[in-house]
Structures are given as C-alpha cells and as structure tokens.
Structure 1
Amino acid sequence: MAGCRVHHDSSWKGKAKCSPRMPSQWEGIACNEATGRVTEIRLPGFISTNDSVFQSQMRGLLSPSITLVSCLEIIDLGGLMGLAGRIPPSIGLRLPNLRKLYLYGNKLIGPVPDSIGKLSKLEELHLYENRLSGSLPSTLGDLRNLKQLLLYSNELAGMIPDSFTNLTNIVQIDLHSNILTGHIPERIGEMQVLEKLDLSKNLLTGKIPLSLANLNSISEMFLDSNHLEGEIPFPSSFGQLSSLSFLRLDDNHLTGRIPASFGNMISLQRVSLENNKFDGDDSLEFGQPFIFDRIISLWQSIIWPNTRISWIYFAGCGIQGEIPVFLQATPSPIQELDLSSNHLTGSLPAWLGLLTQLYKLNFSRNSLVSRIPVSVTNLQYLGVLDLHSNKLSGPINNVFRIGNAFSDGSLTYVDLSDNYFSTGVVQAGVGSQTGIQYLNLSHNFLEGRVATTIGRLKSLQTLDLSCNRLGFNLPEALANVSSLEKLRLQKNHFTGRIPSGFLKLTKLKELDLSDNLLAGEIPAGKPLTDFPQSSYSGNKGLCGKPLTPCKVRGLILVEEPQKPC
C-alpha cells in the first residue's frame, strides 16, 4: 500500500506477496486471484478467530494514500479507537469499485466528503461513533446501490438533504445522536424497501411527513427526542404499516389524537409516546387532562385485540384515574409497563401479580395510595421496580419476596423513595434479592434497626436510606458489600461509632452520614477520610479527620470544642 504504514499483529511478516494465483499472506488483506490486485483491507478493532476474539489497535492518522489502492472493494478499519484524522476528500474519486466502507468507532474528525457520492457501487457506509462534523453532503443521495447508512453518534449538523429520498435501495438509515436540524424530507416514503429508520436524539422540527405511511417494509421507526410538532399523522393510512414492530415518538411536541388505525398494525410490539403535548377536545385523546376511560374503549376494541404489544410507555401524558383493569388480560404478555409522571390515583391492584412476564414496572410520580399487594411476589422476572413519589404506605416486605423461586432473586433496581412506607427492610431484611444493584428507600417513615441481612446484597452499588427514622448502630454488615459506590444514610437517628469495617468499602465514591447521632472518632484511612466535612456534619459526637481532631481524656476520645461561628 503506497504511503501506508500499518502495524498489526505477528502474522504480518516479510513483504506482502499479492500476485496472480497467489493470495496475500498478510492477515486481513485479500487479493483478486486473477489480477493480483488488493481488493480488501479488513483490519477491524475486534478480530474473531476459531479460538478467541481479540482487540487490535491502529494509531495515528488515516492516510490519504489508502485511496491509491484503486481496486479496493472493502475497507474495514472500524473500532480501532486510536485511528484519527479525516476521511480523505478524494476517497470517492479513486475507489470506483468500493462496496463497503467501515470506519466506525474511531476518532475521525471533519466532514463527510462530498466525493463519497461518486462511489456508485457502495452498498454499506458505516461512519458511526466518531467526531465527524459539518453537514450531510447532498451527494449521498447519488448512492443508488446503498443499503446501509449508519452515521449515528457524531456531531453532524444541518438539514437532512432531500436527495436522501433517491436512495431507493436503502434498508437501514441511522442518524441518531447528532445535531441535525430542519424537517424530515417530505418524500421519505419513497424509500420502499426501508426497514429501519432512526432519526432520534437530534434537533429536528416540523411535522411528521404523511408519506411515512407508505413505508410498507418498515419494522423499526425511532423519531423520539426531537422537536417534532403537530398531530401524529396517518389518521387512516398509518395502519398500512403492517410490518412495524417498534415505534418511538416520545420526547417531542406532538399534539392531537392517537390514530385508531394503530389497531391495524398487527406486528406492533413496542410503542412509546410519552413526554409530548397531546391535547385537543375530549374524545379519545391525550388531553389536559387525559381521562383513562375515554381511551380504554379504543384500546380494548381496536388496538389491543390486533396487536402484540409487550412494552407500554405512557409516561408524562397527563393521565388521570385508576390503573385500568384491561391491562391484566392482554393478547401478549406485558414485559415493560411505564405509566410514570401522570395523575394516577387509587390502589396498586392485586392483579399485577398476573403479569408474570413483567420485567419493568414504573408507576413513579403519581398519587397512588395503598400498600404493595402480596401478589407482586409472583413477578419472578421483575428486574426494575420504580414506585417513587407516590403516597404508598405500610410494609415493603413483599418487594423482597419477589421471585423467591430463584436463589438470587430477580430485582436489580428498586426505588420506593418519597412515600409513606413504615417497615420492611428493617425487620424482614432483603429476602432472596441479593442481586439488587440500586436500592432507594429514602424519604419514608422507616423505623428501627437495619437488618444485618443487608450485607447479603453483594451486587449493591447504591444504597439510599436517607430521611427516615432509622436508629441504633450503623449496620456493620455493610462492610461486606464491597461493590458499594454510593451510601446515603443522612437524616436518621443512627447512634454509636462508624464501624471500622467501612474502610473496606474501597469503591465508595459518595458518602453522607450527616445529621445523625453518631459519636467517636471517624476511622482513619481511605476512603472515609477522603470525604468532605459535609459527609459527617450534624453529628455532635463525631471527631477526627476530616472534622476537628479528637482529644484524649484518660482513655476516652472526645471531640475538640469548635469555635463559635
């Protein structure tokens, strides 16, 4: 390769022998046996062999000399991490046979060259996860053989060129996580074989084009996290999208109705519409407020019987009323249910235990008033439980009995904060839920002693018991939770000394023991002495670094008096 210096692995020894009837002896380099010309450079960051998968690296700048290898059909330099520089501006002028270009997962900067539009045989263009900037060149629309266009996770700006609608053979377009602006091209529906479209996490504005209803092959459509406005289009034609299985329109400024034609999308499994501005008259809409009994008839009679929805996301939709009963009997098992940030009232229903395939349940930020029903112990696959910021009360023992058929339990994330719970983790311990990584029980009315079984949470990374009425000594068993990174126990009634075993919490990055009744010397050593004074303030009996030094009177350590403010 003229002008290219590549350092790879031990299989590259001697001169590159690439001649007629003799393939290259360099791993990752392929030749045309008839002409002896190099046709493939496959040197990605992850290389699989029969025995293993290993990470390779390439440092330095991408050399423009690579374009001198004029017979190349495939360039794969993806995921090398250390490869920087710019995509050669002449890349489209010198590689007429290029079919696949993989430069993803590197540190490339600068624009996507206009000349790429000259690569008439290009089928796959993967430039994602770099630092590319500038606008999308309109010449990309000249790539009539292109099937995959993956440019996500860059810093690309400007509008999506209308010329993109000329990509009639395109199967996948992924431009998410850039800073693209302007409207979605009106003629986007002319991409008849498009299966996956992801324009999420940009700054797109305007209305959703009506022509999207013509994408008969589309299976995944992600337009979330933009500034799209207006009504969801397709009032009668949206149901033609019979292949659509995943749809995300959340985090926009959409208004209006949910089209009844949703019910014709027989493949729909996951739909997310939360955090929009749905409003309008009082008929079958997300309104201000959105009344559940006005939408139940739509779901029960039109949408529910004809779809296989397993994910339901209606967060932040202004929903009022009780949790609807129809959710207990669905044509397909619900796996994720999110009705957070609404105005739900009433109780947590006992029939929640019938959703036996449920993995995620989020009813946070509502006005639910009840106890946690015993039936939740049937949810053996529940991994995420978020009920924070409600008015729930009583014990929380049932949560720690979920999935007892499994030795380690199923829960990994539990947030019951900002409720009226009074007992649970104190008396009952943690049950079989030893796989919990995040546990937040703060801002409740928990009393008494923290059970020693808290030490069984070997995977726990965050524990927040702050703003309760917990007392007695700090649980020494926490010293066994070596994975702990955040520990918040402030504003309780803990007494006694800080256990010296806490020095074993070497991964601890955040600690707050303030506003308790702790006394004695703070155990000397990392990580405890690295935290600021605010981590220990409000405990009048504490002394030692980072607080004021302790004085010895006889054999008793006491706090040195502090000067008045």
Structure 2
Amino acid sequence: MILLGIITIVEANNSSHFTGLCELRNLREISLYNNHLEGILPSCMANWTSLHFLDLSENHFSGNVHSLSDLRSLEFLSLSNNEFLNPITFSSFFNLSNLKFLFGDNNKIAFETNSHTRVPTIQLRLFKLSRCSFNGLNKTLPTFLHYQYDMQEIDLSHNNLSGTFPTWLLENNTRLEVLILRNNSFTGSFLVPYEHYLYPNIKEIDISSMLPMWMGNMSQLTTIVMANNQLEGPIPIELCKLFNLEFFDLSENNLFGLVPSCFNLSIIKFFHLNKNFFSGPIPNVFQNNSNLVTLNLRDNYLNGSIPDWIGRVSSLSILLLGANHLEGRIPIQLCLLQKLNLLDLSYNKLFGPIPHCLSNFTFKASDHDFTLGGLSGVFVGKIIPITWAYLITPRYEFAFEEATLEDSKQEVEFTTKTKTYSYKGDILNYMSGVDLSCNRLAGEIPPELGKISNNLRAMNLSHNNLTGPIPTSISNLKQMESLDLSYNNLNGTIPPQLTEMTSLEVFSVAHNNLSGTTPDRKNQFITFEESSYEGNPLLCGPPLHNDCTKIGPAFTTPMDYEEEGGSFMDMSVFYISFVVVYITVLLGIVAVLYINPYWRRAWFNLIEVCIDTCYCFVVVHYCKLFKFRLA
C-alpha cells in the first residue's frame, strides 16, 4: 500500500512523534506547522525522496538541517521560527534543483563566504528571510542570490544587512514583483532599470532624489506607500494617470511644491502627504470624491483657507490639517461630515468663533478597513511593490503578508492627553477627537458642543482667545478621556457637574480667568494636580494652595471684560476691596493722631487753615458774583 497525500501533525510535543514517518518514502506533502516539536531533525528524513512540500515552521527544532540536503524533489520548504543551534547555511540546499519556495524567518543564519561559494542548481521563485540573527560579522546579502534569475518575491527585511543597494536583484530578475528590504543598512543610490517600465532608451534612474515618473505607466497600481524616505522634489503629474489608485502615502519625506490638483478623477481612499514641505492652498482635489476616508496634510506649509467643498466629501472619517499656515474661519460646511472621527486643525491661524454646528458630529465607530490588505501593487519603503497572496500550487495557497502585516496598517498621529500618539489599523475605527488648539479662535465655547455624541474621547481648545464661561453641557460627554481648555480667557466658575465625567484622564483649565472653587475631589478629579488649575488667580480650593476663606465667597455675577487690554475686573470684588481699604486708612489716621500729640496739633492746625482758606474763597467769589449781577 502506498500513501500519497498530506501528513499534518497537530499538538505534538516531541520530534520523536514523527520519526516513524521516515518509513513512508512516498510521502508528497508534510506540514508540522505550529506544534511544540523540539529536538534535532532525524537523519532518516533523507528517505523522503518523493517529498514536494515540507513545513517545519513555528516549532522548537534545534541542531542542523543537513538531513534535508538530499530531498531532490522538494519544491516548498519552510524553516521559519525555530531554534536551530547551528546556523543555517544555504549551501545545504544548493542541490535541491526543484526548490522554488524557501522560508527561513527568525533563525540563526550563516551566509556562505565567497571563497566557498558553489553555483547553486536551485532557481527560487520566492525567498523569505526576515528578522534573523547572523553568525559572525558577515551581514551582506547571500552570494547565491547573484545566481537567481526567476525570483518573483523577496523579503530580506529587518536584518540590518549592509553593503550597497542590490540593483542587480532587479536586473537579474525581470519578473520580480515583490522586494522588501526595509530596516537594513544599505548604502548608495537606489537605481531602477528603466527597460522594465516602457522606457527602452533610458537604462536607469536614481530615485534617491525624485519620485520616478515611470510609476505613472503602472495603470493597475492601487497603492503607493513610500513614507519615511529621503525623497525630494515635487510630485510628478504622471502619477495622476493612476486611475485605480486607492492608497497614497508619501509622508515624512522632503517633497515640496504644490499638491497636484489632478487626483480628482481617481478613487483614492487614503491620502497622506504629512510631514513634507508642500505650500500653497489646499487644492480642489477631492471635491467630487465620494470614497475618500483619510486626508492627512499635517505638518506642511499650506496656506489660504479651508475650502467649502470639504463638506461634500461625505465619506471622510479622518481630516488632519494641523501645523500649517491656514487662516480664515472654520467653514460651517465642515459640519456636514457626519462620518468624521478625527478632526485636527491645530497650529494654524484660524480665527472667528467655533461653529455651533460641530455638535452634528456623531463620532460613531466606523467599519473602514485601515489595512492595506486586498490591495495589489503596494509600494513599501524604497519603492517596493507588494502583493498579498501567492498561489504556490493549485492545491495550496500561502499568505505572504506575515512580515509586513504590522507595517501595512494605516497610521496617523493625533495629540491627546498632552502627548502625540500614533494610532494604527483598526483602532482608528474607535478613536475620536477634535483638536482646534493653537489658533486665534474667539467668542464663547458653544453650549451645543455638549450635545456631541458620547463617543467623543478627546477635545482640545487650548491656546486660543475664547471667552465666557465653561458650558455646563460639557459634562454630558461621558466618554471623554482628555479635555484641554487651558490658555484662554475663560471666566466664571468651573461647573461642578464636570465631576460626572468619570472617563477623564487629562483635564486642564490652566491660565484662564476662572474664579470660585475647584471641583470636588471625587471620581477622576481626585487625580488632577495643581497644574490643571494654575494661572487662575481667583480660583481656590484643593489641589491649589489658595484658601477660599481668604479670597472670599465666589460670585457668579458677570465680569466686565476689556478686550483691548485683555484684562478684567469683578465689580463686586472691587466694591468690597474699596470699603475695606477706606476703613483701614481712616482707622490708621485716627490711631496715629491719638498716639502722637504733636501730629494731632499739626493735624488740627491744618484743618483750621483749610477751613479758613475755603471760607475766604467762598466769600470773595460770592461778593464778585453779587457785584457782577448788580451791574
């Protein structure tokens, strides 16, 4: 009887459990994936001369892999995530002429030296070697890759490999679709052969200093992620030909110029140009785009006003325009964005009141897919296309996203709880916040903001020119975790109802003109220190050191506010202070005159002189006036 098929061992705890399989010489496929197998690989594995598929990944194997060197029929081999004591050398697989798919992540690797390199008979299609530790100081690319001409996907990420950038990988492998080299230490320029991109007369391009124009010819491209590189120059208008583009991320580069206005014909969902040097106004790029989910233009030099058409981008969930030079009023059309979860307009020059209609935001959890899964032709790192599924054989499907799954998620920064955090992937569906800080907004805080959905987690209105009281309705936002109203001109008392906001972790009303007592030290408010209230001279109570009995009772009458000088005066406090000072001065004079007889005589003489002078003044002027009337 001959067994032809797949052997899968589940929840075994020792390699001895599969040594009996060595007698099954006609086995074609074996998967030992994700068990607790340990020990060395038995030498009898060499009996599997008909084996095509072998998956030993996610175990605790040790020793070496020499027993696999005679499996001439092997096409697929995975050794990932094991504990081989002896470093894996690729020369062990040089005779496996049928091997097409080789995986060795998270292992100890020893690359062969040039003096001992043999020409391999293998021609790999997929090679994955990520997050490995290396034996010795040799951290350059394995030399056997120089003899590979049929590879389609290569992942050598997170290895800290050194040497010049391997342009020859692209030149030798004209069918290459995936090249992942992130988190290494390659030097030199990244040269891309042009003949693969319909430019037969131009042989190469150095993209260490511009975005390549030839990307505009990749008409099926859906995603470009080239964040955190040293790319310079403007965005080529050729990219506007990418009508299937859905994800566009060129953040954290040195790009400059105007944001192209030719993307409005695309179906872009995620658009990131933050942390660059773009200038000029926000272009009319997406006014007809009903698919846009994220627009991230933070940390640039954009000027002008926020366009009114922004309200027509009905699908927008994340709008980040902070840290630019935008001015003007916040358009009320912004209130039409019913699906908005994150709004950042901080660090601009916006003025005028806060629109009351911001209360229309619902901040409901969305169901957007903030990962790059399902998109084809993704570019990550140094202009690297990535596909997300690879069909190994008609019978097996292997997901290639393991190394880049975490890196593939959309990531945005948002400031809350006095710190800037990065939110990544599906958590963006649940994070909500409004940041209008560091502008020139004036007027009162609209009480309607207390009607915003309870799902709002962060609100920052600090460093503006806001006046008036803190609305009591703010206490309705029960899910609020961070509320910052500091550095304004707010007056009146702090509503005691705010203590009902039991989710607050950060609260600040520092540096305003608030008066009265601080909220009761209960619930979350027992955790807030003096820094949450400092800079309010008329505010008293713990944790401040001001004693409310010395300052006097809190008054709720309106304060006269002088806008030009930016100062204020509580008239009730003024009247009380005047009477106290008057009585004090009067009693002081009486006490001095009673104690010192010389000053007492001088005081009475002064009064007598003043009376005589006044009497003479009145009499003389009366006579003159009388004579004038008689005449």
> What is the TM-score with the length of structure 1 in the denominator?
0.64
Among 41, 63, 70, which residue is 2:32 paired with? 41
The 1:315/1:35 distance shift into structure 2, 3 A limit, reads closer
Q: What's the counterpart of residue 123 of structure 2?
A: 144
Q: Which amino acid aligns with 1:427?
A: P
Instruction: Deviation per CA, 1:15-35: give whole Å up to 9, x if none.
Output: 958868xxxxxxxxxx99776
Identity of aligned residues (%): 24
Q: What's the counterpart of residue 618 of structure 2?
A: none
Q: What's the counterpart of residue 54 of structure 1?
A: none
Report deviation, 1:345: 1.9
Greater C-alpha radius of gyration = 2
Report deviation, 1:316: 3.8
Q: Which amino acid aligns with 1:310?
A: K
Task: Provide the secondary structure at the position in 1 that maps to 2:279.
Answer: strand
Task: Provide the secondary structure at the position in 1 that maps to 2:32.
Answer: strand
Q: What's the counterpart of residue 311 of structure 1?
A: 270
Among 270, 279, 287, which residue is 1:328 paired with? 287
Q: What's the counterpart of residue 536 of structure 1?
A: none
1:416 aligns with 2:436: yes
Q: What's the counterpart of residue 464 of structure 2?
A: 444
1:75 aligns with 2:52: no
Distance 2:274 2:175 in 1: 32
Q: What's the counterpart of residue 220 of structure 1?
A: none
The 1:33/1:193 distance shift into structure 2, 3 A limit, reads same
The 1:311/1:406 distance shift into structure 2, 3 A limit, reads closer
Kept in 1, the 8 Å contact 2:304–2:328? The answer is yes
> Higher helix proportion, which one?
2
Kept in 2, the 8 Å contact 1:350–1:375? The answer is yes
Paired residues for 1:24-423 under 5 Å:
39-43=30-34, 63-65=39-41, 69=45, 71=48, 73-75=53-55, 77-78=57-58, 88=64, 90=66, 93=69, 97=74, 99-101=76-78, 103-104=80-81, 113-114=89-90, 117-118=93-94, 121=99, 123=101, 125=103, 127=105, 144-147=123-126, 149=128, 151=130, 158-160=139-141, 164=145, 170-189=151-170, 190-211=172-193, 214=196, 229-233=208-212, 235=213, 237-278=214-255, 286=256, 290-291=257-258, 295-296=260-261, 299=262, 305=265, 307-330=266-289, 333-398=291-356, 400-404=358-362, 412-423=432-443
Distance 1:179 1:155 in 2: 10
Kept in 2, the 8 Å contact 1:418–1:443? The answer is yes
Task: Provide the secondary structure at the position in 2 that maps to 1:348.
Answer: coil
Report deviation, 1:391: 0.9
The 1:252/1:114 distance shift into structure 2, 3 A limit, reads same
Distance 2:503 2:132 in 1: 31
Report deviation, 1:291: 4.5
Task: Provide the secondary structure at the position in 1 that maps to 2:541.
Answer: strand
Kept in 2, the 8 Å contact 1:41–1:76? The answer is yes
Report deviation, 1:412: 1.0
Taking only aligned residues, the RMSD between alpha carbons, in angstroms, comes to 4.9
- Tell me how many residue pairs correspond in the alignment: 456
Report deviation, 1:520: 3.3
Q: Which runs of 5+ in 2 are unaligned?
A: 1-8, 199-205, 367-428, 550-631
Instruction: Deviation per CA, 1:107-141: give whole Å up to 9, x if none.
Output: 999976445754663625262xx597888999999
Distance 1:340 1:415 in 2: 12
Q: What's the counterpart of residue 546 of structure 2?
A: 541
Q: What's the counterpart of residue 435 of structure 1?
A: 455
Task: Provide the secondary structure at the position in 1 that maps to 2:295.
Answer: strand
Report deviation, 1:353: 0.4
Report deviation, 1:41: 1.2
Q: Which amino acid aligns with 1:232?
A: L
Task: Provide the secondary structure at the position in 1 that maps to 2:219.
Answer: coil
Instruction: Deviation per CA, 1:514-560: give whole Å up to 9, x if none.
Output: 444553345xxxxxxxxxxxxxxxx33279xxxxxx9xxxxxxxxxx
Kept in 2, the 8 Å contact 1:140–1:164? The answer is no
1:500 aligns with 2:521: yes
Distance 1:182 1:436 in 2: 49
The 1:33/1:92 distance shift into structure 2, 3 A limit, reads closer
Distance 1:34 1:107 in 2: 27
Kept in 1, the 8 Å contact 2:64–2:86? The answer is no
Kept in 2, the 8 Å contact 1:422–1:447? The answer is yes
Report deviation, 1:352: 0.4
Distance 1:89 1:34 in 2: 19
Instruction: Deviation per CA, 1:291-341: give whole Å up to 9, x if none.
Output: 46xx54xx3xxx654x443333233443332222343235x6322222222
> What is the TM-score with the length of structure 2 in the denominator?
0.58
Distance 1:399 1:196 in 2: 48
Distance 2:57 2:453 in 1: 44
Instruction: Deviation per CA, 1:421-451: give whole Å up to 9, x if none.
Output: 2356552234333223333322222334433
Report deviation, 1:361: 1.5
Instruction: Deviation per CA, 1:400-436: give whole Å up to 9, x if none.
Output: 3344496999871322221122356552234333223
Q: Which amino acid aligns with 2:277?
A: G
